[in-house]
């Protein structure tokens, strides 16, 4: 109402922000109309919050539901071990023929191969026993082009042998016939330490003429074709078993291996008498559970959401590895992306616009989820990460995205913990103990890099298996060092058998 007020206000604003064109509009009835609008917005936001909470409620599992997951995992473990149900069991419980952990007497130079993803590693591992045990490693990483991953088996193994040849040249060791451990991180039906048939490719591999074949033979044939060097293939190794062995070298109470990374799997020392697919009753043997396929028979359908089903339907191996698709790094981002698309279509996110980026499979890598969920990150930084992904977000959007990520990864950690609770309880019951102390060797990006996964998973195991005291140890390079240790133990085993025969 002051005659000079508006003119002076305009002038001051122009002086302070000369580059901006600021206009002032007179408001009609601010207190009446405005209050009504604020109320309407508040109602809309409350309704939106309620609907988002409803969407995420399916991912929030109660203790009773988690105990049910544990119980079902136990049932599937038994089915995998028994001869008459093994054929149809989803959790395959594959014998690995690794009968003991390292005892410190291992000694020598070993070659290790590591094939389990888009990269392939060749390592030379020098193990020295004695008072001061040492493990020295040299390695080189080679890429596996997608056309080789999805070409013929012969091309794949020729490529592997070419990489070994290059490495032996690099190390100047072409003439030594080294014992070799082959970490092959795919489901394998082993018949001995150095023989295993590939059950099925996973993780994007599709090379022909390999499924059902003995991969050690395929490797030996590849080496023969090259005619440049010879190797003594002692052991085929699953990365989960390698993880357990690496930890057992440092900590003898380690009898379980867990991978929580791109994929999800576990192994543990089972009593041979319980493994009906193997001859004999004496001692223990490490069993590769291949637990990613838990739920493939529908036993987890009651906790799978529409988003889990969407991720499964759009995957390379529909209907397979359902448990893994709920708790491994390769799929968590996809679950999040599917939820975000749904919330956007319903007008709760990104101004209701589903961008091309959001339609792109695989944009939410585990590392982004880990960053978004970091407690140290302010919402502005979450916005910056979303910006990197080409998603223009408001602060409200960032809050919702952070909540979605947290809900999905929390469930992953909890159901992974429920699976582990089943394993530790099985070991305790095998040994007729009231209380079990045991160590788990763990590897995998999800476990290592995610800000909350390891804590929530450990908490879950504690709640669901109260009679077990479980220590988790980070494993250093299970697929490299672990493969060499298994090879060393295998050489020791072989030597013992030779002596017994003479």
Q: Which residues are catalytic?
A: 121, 185, 239
Q: How many C-alpha atoms does 417 have within 13 Å on its Cβ side? A: 31
For residues 144 and 114, give the distance between their C-alpha atoms in angstroms, rounded to a whole number: 12
Tell me which residue of 148, 172, 117, 288 sits closest to 222, measured CA to CA.
148
**Angle made by CA atoms 244, 250, 255, in degrees to the nearest 5:** 35
Axis-axis angle for helices 395-430, 379-388 (nearest 10): 90
Is 231 in a helix, a strand, or coil?
Answer: coil
Contact 196, 181 (CB under 8 A): no
Tell me which residue of 154, 157, 151 sits closest to 207, measured CA to CA.
151
Burial (Cβ within 10 Å: 0-12, 13-18, ≥19) of residue 502: exposed
Q: 3-state secondary structure string, 329-376?
A: HHHHHHHHHHHHHHHHHCCCCHHHCCCCCCCCCCCCCHHHHHHHCCCC
Is 142 in a helix, a strand, or coil?
Answer: strand
In the numeric block, the tokens 């072409």 are attached to 174
For residues 477 and 424, give the distance between their C-alpha atoms in angstroms, rounded to a whole number: 23
Provide the token pair at 217: 């033979």
Contact 404, 56 (CB under 8 A): yes
């Amino acid at each position: 109402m002051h005659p000079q007020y508006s003119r002076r206000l305009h002038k001051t604003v122009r002086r302070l922000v000369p580059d901006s064109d600021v206009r002032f509009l007179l408001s009609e009835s601010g207190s009446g109309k405005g209050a009504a609008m604020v109320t309407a917005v508040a109602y809309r936001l409350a309704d939106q919050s309620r609907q988002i909470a409803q969407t995420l409620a399916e991912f929030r599992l109660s203790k009773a539901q988690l105990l049910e997951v544990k119980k079902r995992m136990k049932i599937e473990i038994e089915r995998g071990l028994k001869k008459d149900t093994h054929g149809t069991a989803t959790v395959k419980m594959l014998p690995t023929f690794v009968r003991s952990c390292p005892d410190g007497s291992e000694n020598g130079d070993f070659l290790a191969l590591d094939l389990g993803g888009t990269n392939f590693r060749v390592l030379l591992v020098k193990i020295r026993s004695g008072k001061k045990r040492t493990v020295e490693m040299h390695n080189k990483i080679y890429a596996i082009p997608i056309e080789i991953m999805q070409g013929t088996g012969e091309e794949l193994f020729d490529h592997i042998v070419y990489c070994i040849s290059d490495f032996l040249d690099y190390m100047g060791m072409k003439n030594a016939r080294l014992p070799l451990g082959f970490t092959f991180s795919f489901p394998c039906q082993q018949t001995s330490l150095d023989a295993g048939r590939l059950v099925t490719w996973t993780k994007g591999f599709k090379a022909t003429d390999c499924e059902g074949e003995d991969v050690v033979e395929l490797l030996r044939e590849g080496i023969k074709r090259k005619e440049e060097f010879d190797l003594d293939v002692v052991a085929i190794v699953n990365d989960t078993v390698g993880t357990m062995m690496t930890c057992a070298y440092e900590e003898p109470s380690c009898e379980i291996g867990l991978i929580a990374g791109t994929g999800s799997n576990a192994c543990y020392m089972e009593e041979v008498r319980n493994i009906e697919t193997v001859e004999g009753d004496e001692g223990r043997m490490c069993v590769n559970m291949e637990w990613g396929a838990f739920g493939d028979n529908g036993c987890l359908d009651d906790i799978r959401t529409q988003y889990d089903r969407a991720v499964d339907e759009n995957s390379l191996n529909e209907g397979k590895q359902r448990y893994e698709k709920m708790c491994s790094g390769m799929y968590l981002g996809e679950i999040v992306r599917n939820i975000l698309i749904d919330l956007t279509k319903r007008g709760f996110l990104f101004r209701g616009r589903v961008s091309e980026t959001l339609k792109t499979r695989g944009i939410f890598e585990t590392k982004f989820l880990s960053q978004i969920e970091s407690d140290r990150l302010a919402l502005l930084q979450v916005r910056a990460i979303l910006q990197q992904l080409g998603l223009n977000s408001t602060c409200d959007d960032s809050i919702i995205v952070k909540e979605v990520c947290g809900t999905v990864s929390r469930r992953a950690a909890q159901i992974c913990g429920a699976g582990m609770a089943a394993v530790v309880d099985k070991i305790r019951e095998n040994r007729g103990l009231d209380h079990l102390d045991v160590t788990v060797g763990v590897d995998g990006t999800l476990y290592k890099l995610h800000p909350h996964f390891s804590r929530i998973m450990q908490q879950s195991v504690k709640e669901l298996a109260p009679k077990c005291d479980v220590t988790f140890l980070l494993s250093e390079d299970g697929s490299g060092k672990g493969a060499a240790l298994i090879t060393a133990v295998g050489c020791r085993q072989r030597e013992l058998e030779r002596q017994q025969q003479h």
